Structure 1
């Protein structure tokens, strides 16, 4: 088994990183002159597997050279894979934000640590997930590190698109673009990894639009499937302006439920782990001297909840776009399989009740609402304006 086996639909990108990792094992030079370089950007749409590929590449770089044990150069080893998965490898540094933006102080600390020599591996690898969440002044802090990188440090940035980063950052990284995996590829991965039947995995892959993370949730979480079905039901039931206002409140409530479901279990695990590390029994009294540490954890969890709610609202928007995309294709007579195949009869009814121009206007309203929410407009107002436009 290699570190690349659980990645799907990205054979071209895997070949690039595999060659780079293999090249890095040759010779004694810090960074090779051919396939390997000191800074990378993995770009691709949400759910394409950017971070998974980043950590697979990190594992390959941090693994000891192949010693004849059946592992080829660039394939990584099992012990390193477990350390990287647990984020406990001494030569791996990770920056992933639970908030809306990446803080400058966090980037400064990362840049400072990048100057340390690797302790057990050939390289020190630094992964920045969601690098697009850095503001311009924060990006400039990172830029200085990329301009004069230490000889044994490798940066791996992840972002949806090159355009999300400053031109000066883009000019100093090698970009590898990922594609959207096919539904069949994602379904096969979910069926094998999550032990679900292929029909459920295929429906989840199709309705998630090949977003691997969302396909996993839809295939394994009945509540997530129910909330998605309710989203489509609410949208198809809007006929008046007053109904649109009520629907906006319902959609916001669904987004909140989805966000809470994602964060609640994780918050409880983090708090339990923090109490255990501080030597406090479950249900025990927290000494005043330790309360500040728990307050910091609670503040981080609140920031994560804010981001999770925004992500939940955006997932609803994406589901609505898939609904109206299917309706539009039926109106135009395009012979292609709809994303929401399970409700084909309702899609056919809806397509007969409006025109293609009206459906396009609805999709434009959804896109506008996403931009407004991204610009910090109150989600309730943005959803109401979007759905009132749909009703009209």
Structure 2
């Protein structure tokens, strides 16, 4: 299977990347900026391009050793960097810049793929800028970010842009069927509920727990009868997000701690001596930052699911005639649409957007969700 087959719904971008990867096609940019909304497949497209650049015949065949190791992120000439914390550290970027100076060992190019280029602070980006301004002859930088505005203008001006879009629901569903063997009906539901986000669609299709959590979130508008309900609902959402983040990282955190202690020569069951405790504390701080980002991402995903409800309500109120994201709830959505007008629905959608921004700016999650749920009360919309 070609490496391009998982880049769904992006025919124009794929054609540009195919041509650029073809051997003998001429000089191409040494820095590329992949942008697109969440779920558009930025990192998937970047990996496919990396594989095509390293492919033994330059097509991204998906069968050769270079393609398979590049897609897996294990090719000797491909370095893939992503962060599970809030920012990408400057030390990591400095090390990347140094490694980018080396010549490729087996392939035509040495490729550095940064999946979270938007998570670099300005001083970190300035370190990267120097490497992009004066790149080694056979090094290619692939940067991923939600939008061009999420990286410094100096980086944008020195990178070739690849803009991706949200893929069609049908294309995402087809990928789930082909790649993951998902039942077509489940694939269609998951692709629609995930709003064409490929990763979330796969999770919804394969994980009953994820589907259950989503059902609880999208029922929120019908659970808000008063201020007490709003406060309780906000607490439930934060608690679920915290539990999901904890359960997702607990086993990994314990394994990392155990491996660190073993590396430091500490016997199992014994605590680290004072001289080594700073390294343990450093690991714990890293794990805490990772958990913070994961909880924030879970809450943001919940708000996107909630936003889909009011999007459907607005569609019904305006008689837009487009498909509903939550089609199985059509009767309940119709009843909700009858409570207020489009103006009130738009106000609620704006409130959800404000809550997402507050979470990204590190405002207390519980206070943010409490304020949002109060704003979603029927009387709050009437007042607006």
TM-score of the aligned structures, taking structure 2 as reference length? 0.90
Alignment check: 8 A CA contact 1:42 1:177 kept:
yes
Deviations 1:308-341 (A, max 9, x none): 0000110011011100111111122222221011
- Compared CA separation, residues 77 and 42, structure 1 to 2 (3 A): same
Alignment check: 8 A CA contact 1:183 1:209 kept:
yes
How many residues get paired? 376
Task: State the alpha-carbon separation in 2 of the partners of residues 169 and 261 from structure 1.
Answer: 37
- Alignment-derived partner of residue 6 in structure 1: 6
| Shift in Å, 1:227 | 0.4
- Alignment-derived partner of residue 194 in structure 1: 180
| Shift in Å, 1:79 | 1.3
The answer to whether 1:340 aligns with 2:326 is yes
Deviations 1:340-382 (A, max 9, x none): 1111111111111222222111111111111112222111111
- Alignment-derived partner of residue 69 in structure 1: none
Deviations 1:55-88 (A, max 9, x none): 1111122233x2xxxxx64535431233224433
Pick one of 25, 45, 53 that aligns with 2:45.
53
Alignment check: 8 A CA contact 2:169 2:188 kept:
yes
Alignment check: 8 A CA contact 1:205 1:215 kept:
yes
- Compared CA separation, residues 254 and 83, structure 1 to 2 (3 A): same
| Shift in Å, 1:294 | 6.1
RMSD: 2.5
Pick one of 76, 84, 109 that aligns with 1:90.
76
Correspondence list, 1:111-130, <5 A:
111-130=97-116
Task: State the alpha-carbon separation in 2 of the partners of residues 239 and 161 from structure 1.
Answer: 38
Alignment check: 8 A CA contact 1:127 1:157 kept:
yes
Alignment check: 8 A CA contact 1:224 1:258 kept:
no
Pick one of 173, 185, 208 that aligns with 2:171.
185
* Structure 1: tracts of 5 or more residues without a match: 67-71
- Alignment-derived partner of residue 158 in structure 2: 172
The 3-state SS of whatever aligns with 1:321 is helix
Task: State the alpha-carbon separation in 2 of the partners of residues 264 and 194 from structure 1.
Answer: 27
- Alignment-derived partner of residue 354 in structure 1: 340
The 10-residue stretch of structure 1 (144-153 or 252-261) with the greater mean CA deviation from structure 2: 252-261
| Shift in Å, 1:94 | 1.9
Alignment check: 8 A CA contact 1:207 1:339 kept:
yes
* Structure 2: tracts of 5 or more residues without a match: none
- Alignment-derived partner of residue 32 in structure 2: 40
Task: State the alpha-carbon separation in 2 of the partners of residues 279 and 140 from structure 1.
Answer: 34
- Compared CA separation, residues 216 and 293, structure 1 to 2 (3 A): farther
Task: State the alpha-carbon separation in 1 of the partners of residues 33 and 314 from structure 2.
Answer: 35
- Compared CA separation, residues 214 and 276, structure 1 to 2 (3 A): farther
The 3-state SS of whatever aligns with 2:3 is coil
Alignment check: 8 A CA contact 2:261 2:272 kept:
no
- Compared CA separation, residues 296 and 279, structure 1 to 2 (3 A): closer
- Alignment-derived partner of residue 62 in structure 1: 54
- Compared CA separation, residues 162 and 78, structure 1 to 2 (3 A): same
- Compared CA separation, residues 82 and 298, structure 1 to 2 (3 A): farther
| Shift in Å, 1:151 | 0.3
Task: State the alpha-carbon separation in 2 of the partners of residues 99 and 314 from structure 1.
Answer: 15
- Compared CA separation, residues 194 and 83, structure 1 to 2 (3 A): same
| Shift in Å, 1:286 | 6.4
